[in-house]
Chains A and B, each alone.
Chain A
């Protein structure tokens, strides 16, 4: 099967192609060099259209227990967005925490071909993968959460050899079928179980005596030395706390050049200036990110409306429950492993705090120079549901539109933000970096996020509309592995994506101490805890892609 995509305007930053008119050939799902005289089976004339690789969301909560808690807790949120069964598609529902089926369809309809669940608790990994398996259309992967689990904290407190810690981190990646490691409120989820209500970067955990700084330095070193491509994915201390810009600054500087990805940094960029003791720390954070090449970030943009926050950060989510809207919420302590907090939230444009959160996110986008180190996220659904991405892209690409939107927000928030003075407009090339090439490179996805020879045929074609929101909301064509799956923004073929994992080498001797630990303390045995490949593949419904890792250092 040979497909030719003819004459489109191609934005392929991984290969340095910025809006050139090019033909693309896809043979049996893979992009190939122009064949000499082969027969073209299908040709799509794309003159005047914009061609990019399929988009990749590197941080979206699409699978796992806390999402299902959110679903079960908020029937009223789903009732407004029912989705009927279609000729090809299953019924479901949308909005803040959509059903898995609807999430997959809607991602594909927006031109996304891969999504990564960033907060998979090892204890909940099996269910997270079940939910991702029921998310059709897109490839997926998950980041395993460590850093508040008692096994690691015991290792750290006992000053275990770094090699043993690396073995444990690698074992976790294997056992949970993960592609990266995430840390959430380092040590803080555990500290909350001991009734600590905050844990700043250098504050000691009451039981283990370790600090978040110790956790971050150890885990980021372990991830790096294991050769895992994606750096430690960090949800830092003090999420949402006014003044946390201080912590963020100390975190960035404190990493001492170790690679780190700071996620939903908008929620960590708050100052305490002004009458309301809440101000933007975006300029300071942007300056730090610009000057620290070891740091990448995603924004976690807030957009207005009803959503539901869901995080492993039980400590901070408990603190946020006072803002719950509607007034109901769940906080959990989980399995000597982690925790979670699910708090519904309605961001209002007339609220000073919410409006400033909105502005802080946009300031970060516009003040951080290098699009290769910043990824476009709303931390779905924490800042807003992922279906807002086209709107967010327009805010970044269209200063006039941005200024119009700014007229609608709380005037004091608008006045205290530098946003109006920022003239930057993202280009299509930069958007392609932020939503494709950058995440693919950061996550170590071979043959994804670009359109060069050898790349898989995940391709999105847009109309080149002046209204960038309309453009990115409804792609003309989406190809998954070379198959046309979306046409005119509608699903024309339902497919099942692969699961991406990373499997660094490790010494299986670690299972000796793990087995003893599981036997003494856990309620599941070590062998039953681990997820087999068969559970991902589930009779051929799923597929595993093992992404390369570098040699262990």
Chain B
């Protein structure tokens, strides 16, 4: 091979590898190799630049044609009395296709990150909340509170693009932004630059952040506390934060569901939302949940509009039944309540299916090493690299059209799932 593949440059590329879906990347493709040329964070670089190994569909570990693999998958689903559809790390079209398949086969749907997302949903379904979005926060927040999760590690461009943005809309009225970290050991390195004023830390062990939030809420409500420190944080520092929030024009309390380390972290989210509600009696404040990796927000939203419920929905009765405890795939597998696992991943080969003796149909990016050989393996493309797609951002408001960078002809999860359904 003497021919050298020409480099193709793609601008304004949306990145599907975390819930921020930054859309200002420049990516260069040479043959099947991608290089992030501009605006890539570590996660983007690792996602885009991961080498693409050759992969063939397989049946019981032996190479097979795509057609045969689809037929084998359809046959397993037909025979199954209670198929589980897990992973669900896909785009809008992939979710539509897997919903149709689950509806058709009376299956159960559960996203890989449902446990964490569910902590937010418990709060939404019991009390609701006041929230903001990325652009609103970028332009408006005068106090940003990072609650108990390592935002910089999980979303490496959040500070650069949202907290430390060079230009914001209301500069003439803006005070320098205060950034508050609640919890020890959170990466604060990105909270710097001309936009950032004070950086305040309330150091407490991450698993005790809920205590600090509870104390903050109690003091803001005017309740007396007898302790003079909470989880190692002096009460005076907590009261000082309450004062700052009350004096702020627009504070934003940020968390990531997967990043919270507290036990029963829904109660931490609850406390955050209670604090925000209380602040809004006199000033403005909002919550902002990040997360949304592995297409989690997309899965929740599409499942929400098509079935009426978030994931952890079962179609066993013919109609969607939502039960975040009963329809959790880990619980169903542990309780021997299923005879087939269909696992859909398309962003990361690391999102492997659970180790189970139940036969599995695996739709995954080439290179995934599942804990056991699946009954059927079908390699699928990554939306935004191998094919176009649509992805909903962590704030559940903005969605992006993902570009086809033409890396490979690997079929989309949506195409494979639809073909399986057509073969049922």
Residues of A that sit less than 8 Å from B by CB: 63, 65, 67-69, 71-75, 78-79, 82-85, 90-93, 97-102, 121, 123-124, 126-127, 130-131, 134, 150, 192-195, 207, 318, 324, 327-337, 342, 520-525, 527-528, 531-532, 535, 538
Q: Decide: B124 and A72 in contact? CB cutoff 8 A.
A: yes
Closest chain B residue to A342, Cβ basis? B128
Q: Decide: A91 and B309 in contact? CB cutoff 8 A.
A: no
Q: How close is B308's CB to chain A, nearest CB, in angstroms?
A: 4
Q: Decide: A93 and B320 in contact? CB cutoff 8 A.
A: yes
Select which of B136, B161, B167, B307 is within 8 A of A93 by beta carbon: B307
Question: With A67-B305, A73-B128, A99-B306 given, can you name 15 additional A-B contacts, CB distance below 8 Å?
Answer: A68-B305, A75-B308, A91-B319, A100-B305, A102-B308, A124-B399, A127-B397, A318-B130, A324-B128, A333-B131, A333-B136, A333-B140, A523-B134, A523-B138, A538-B93
- Does B92 belong to the interface (CB within 8 Å)? yes
Q: Decide: A91 and B103 in contact? CB cutoff 8 A.
A: yes
**Considering residues A75, A83, A100, A527, which has the most beta carbons from chain B within 10 angstroms of its beta carbon?**
A75
Q: For chain B residues 373-405, which have a beta carbon within 8 Å of chain A?
A: 390, 392, 396-401
The 4 closest A-B pairs by CB, nearest first: A82-B319, A84-B318, A93-B308, A328-B128
Select which of B124, B135, B305, B401 is within 8 A of A134 by beta carbon: B305
C-alpha gap A85/B162 in the complex (Å) = 44
Q: Decide: B135 and A336 in contact? CB cutoff 8 A.
A: yes
**Considering residues A67, A73, A192, which has the most beta carbons from chain B within 10 angstroms of its beta carbon?**
A73
Q: Decide: B307 and A68 in contact? CB cutoff 8 A.
A: no
Q: Decide: B397 and A75 in contact? CB cutoff 8 A.
A: no
Q: Decide: A328 and B126 in contact? CB cutoff 8 A.
A: yes
C-alpha gap A78/B249 in the complex (Å) = 38
Q: Decide: A72 and B309 in contact? CB cutoff 8 A.
A: yes
Q: Decide: A127 and B399 in contact? CB cutoff 8 A.
A: yes
**Considering residues A63, A333, A337, A525, which has the most beta carbons from chain B within 10 angstroms of its beta carbon?**
A333
C-alpha gap A194/B317 in the complex (Å) = 49
Given contacts A124-B397, A331-B130, A521-B167, contact A99 B308 (CB under 8 A): yes
Select which of A68, A78, A332, A531 is within 8 A of B301 by beta carbon: A68
- Of B50-58, B68-76, B255-263, B280-288, the segment with at least 4 beta carbons within 8 Å of chain A is B280-288
Which residues of B have CB within 8 Å of A90? 100, 103, 306
C-alpha gap A194/B401 in the complex (Å) = 32
Select which of B96, B284, B304, B401 is within 8 A of A68 by beta carbon: B304
Which residues of B have CB within 8 Å of A84? 317-319
Closest chain B residue to A74, Cβ basis? B125
- Does B14 belong to the interface (CB within 8 Å)? yes
**Considering residues B130, B134, B249, which has the most beta carbons from chain A within 10 angstroms of its beta carbon?**
B130
Q: Decide: B315 and A85 in contact? CB cutoff 8 A.
A: yes
Q: How close is A326's CB to chain B, nearest CB, in angstroms?
A: 9
C-alpha gap A194/B136 in the complex (Å) = 12
C-alpha gap A75/B129 in the complex (Å) = 16
Q: How close is A94's CB to chain B, nearest CB, in angstroms?
A: 8
Q: How close is B144's CB to chain A, nearest CB, in angstroms?
A: 14
Q: Decide: A73 and B139 in contact? CB cutoff 8 A.
A: no
Given contacts A93-B307, A99-B307, contact A335 B319 (CB under 8 A): no
Q: Decide: B396 and A195 in contact? CB cutoff 8 A.
A: no
Which residues of B have CB within 8 Å of A525? 12, 23-24
C-alpha gap A37/B173 in the complex (Å) = 77
Q: Is the interface of A mostly helix, strand, loop or mixed?
A: mixed
C-alpha gap A329/B123 in the complex (Å) = 10
Which residues of A have CB within 8 Å of B396? 65, 68-69
Can you report 18 A-B residue pairs in the complex whose CB atoms are below 8 A from each other? A73-B124, A84-B317, A85-B103, A90-B306, A91-B320, A99-B306, A99-B308, A126-B399, A134-B96, A207-B170, A331-B130, A332-B133, A333-B284, A334-B136, A335-B134, A336-B135, A523-B398, A535-B401
- Does B338 belong to the interface (CB within 8 Å)? no
Q: For chain B residues 268-305, which have a beta carbon within 8 Å of chain A?
A: 280, 283-284, 286, 300-302, 304-305
Q: Decide: A332 and B131 in contact? CB cutoff 8 A.
A: yes
C-alpha gap A337/B284 in the complex (Å) = 17
C-alpha gap A121/B136 in the complex (Å) = 14
Which residues of A have CB within 8 Å of B183? none
Q: Decide: B12 and A527 in contact? CB cutoff 8 A.
A: yes
Closest chain B residue to A97, Cβ basis? B308
Q: Decide: A193 and B125 in contact? CB cutoff 8 A.
A: no
- Does B322 belong to the interface (CB within 8 Å)? yes
Q: Decide: B136 and A71 in contact? CB cutoff 8 A.
A: no
Which residues of B have CB within 8 Å of A102? 308
Which residues of A have CB within 8 Å of B306? 90, 92, 99-101, 134
Q: How close is A462's CB to chain B, nearest CB, in angstroms?
A: 29
